[in-house]
Amino acid sequence: MNFEFAAPGRIVFGPGRVEAAGEIAKALSRGSGAARALVVSGADIRRSAPLVASLERAGLSCERYPVRGEPRFEDAREATALARSALCGVVIGFGGGSALDLAKAVAALLANPGDPMDYAEVIGGGKALSEPSYPCVAIPTTAGTGSEATRNAVLASTEHRVKVSLRSPTMLPAVAIVDPELTYGLPPTITAQTGMDALAQLLEPFVCSSPSPLVDAICRGALPRVARSLPAAFDDGANAAAREDMAFASLSGGLALANARLGAVHALAGPLGGAFPVPHGAACAALLAPVASANVRALRSRDPGGPALARYAQAASMLMGGDAAPGAVSEAEPEDASVFFAGLAARLGIRPLAEYGVGRDDFLEVARKASASSSMRGNPIALTLEELMSILEEATFFSE
């Protein structure tokens, strides 16, 4: 075994734990802005009332930056300028993956001079974020992205019609506060999309080309929770046990992807999200079954003796309620994973990519960008452009 494992400096998990955010942020806040925080939230700032109340009790004032939709490079510039001018000593992300990613980007940019494009992968300068980020507290209000436990921030470039990352080990939040009660008000559609994203972020590291035994343990503990609790949370948003399971699964997915690799689901979701108004979770949800099916076919054909086929069977067994013990002989077949994903997508009302404007004329460009992405390097087998386009065909028109 030869691996590393990175995680937030501290993880605070449990119902009602958002009440501790003020004292936690106050203890982290630094410099001349020690009494001031930048709060990056979703568009509806009323949802952050519990956080603001906690900050006020701790004696911290705050500047607010609501992000509408997925964060862009323009948002990173504006929010960083606001935090710098207000002399904020700590950055708090409160919301879904968009708010958390933008908060991590701002915390990094406060400590590193220049424009965010200087540090962007693929389309930017790719410079290292050499200085440690400002303290960042990540508080998710959805259960899917796991951004509270990752060391990158995804930003959209409207000019390039693509989403890329700022990435550094120092971008891990100082503290992640995961309070399942903050997800109770999520509507069913968002519950479904973010939950399927969590599922993808557990499945892909488990079957990836460079697995880790510690990541394996995390995925084995979380995959069955998604299977039993995502439909329950979708049906009843106030189901406390289901919401807790999904919050834990989302955190686990973040830890998994930060310490292993992803695969074709996320490789394709990136350029789709950059070019079309498809939420990241919705893209992952539509792609999960087609990617699993294509991967298993390719593995059967080109790597039948490799470990990935057995891992797909083990994942299917865990999701279907079978034995998840390491080394156990699975009664499931590798193909059962894609069957499970397709059935779950139908159960949750996941819509095809065509409803977001994706068409056959777009497949080749998306496939080419996906092939060049860092996520694709983690796929358990190399897929051809033709195989990627077939995946897009299935994900785009599966309701026809």
pLDDT cut 90: percent of the chain above it: 89
Q: What is the predicted pLDDT for the residue at 400?
A: 47
Indicate whether 330 pLDDT > 70: no
Strand partners, 137: 92, 175
Q: How many other CB atoms are found less than 10 A from the CB of residue 250?
A: 33
Domain boundary among 183, 215, 242: 183
Type of residue found at 336: D
**Is pLDDT above 60 for 324?**
no
Does residue 4 form part of some domain?
no
Structural domain includes residue 86:
yes
Low-confidence winner among 144-158, 167-181, 316-330 (lowest mean pLDDT): 316-330
- Decide if 267 is inside a domain: yes
Do 207 and 139 reside in the same domain of the chain?
A: no
As a whole number of angstroms, the distance between CA 41 and CA 150 comes to 18
Whether residues 178 and 216 share a domain: the answer is no
Amino acid sitting at position 343 = G
One domain for residues 273 and 372: yes
- Determine, yes or no, domain membership for 256: yes
SS3 of residue 200 by DSSP: helix
pLDDT at residue 164, rounded to an integer: 87
Which DSSP symbol is given to 161? Answer: T
Taking residues 143-152, what's their average pLDDT?
96
CA atoms of 145 and 194, how far apart (whole Å) = 7
Same structural domain, 216 and 153: no
Asked if residue 300 and residue 223 are part of one domain, the reply reads yes
Enclosing domain of residue 370: 188-397
Asked if residue 272 and residue 159 are part of one domain, the reply reads: no
Average confidence (pLDDT) over 12-22:
97
pLDDT of residue 322: 63
Average per-residue pLDDT for the chain:
94
d(CA 357, CA 249): 31
The pTM for the full model equals: 0.94
**Residue 2 belongs to some domain of the structure:** no
Q: Is residue 3 in a domain?
A: no
What 3 state SS string does 286-333 have? Answer: HHHHHHHHHHHHHHHHHCCCCHHHHHHHHHHHHHCCCCCCCCCCCCCC
Question: What pLDDT sits at residue 8?
Answer: 97
Query: Mean pLDDT throughout 108-114?
Result: 97
> What is the number of domains present in the chain?
2
What is the mean predicted confidence (pLDDT) over 109-130?
95
Would you state the pLDDT for residue 33? 67
pLDDT digits (tens, 9 = 90+) for 205-223: 999 999 999 999 999 999 9
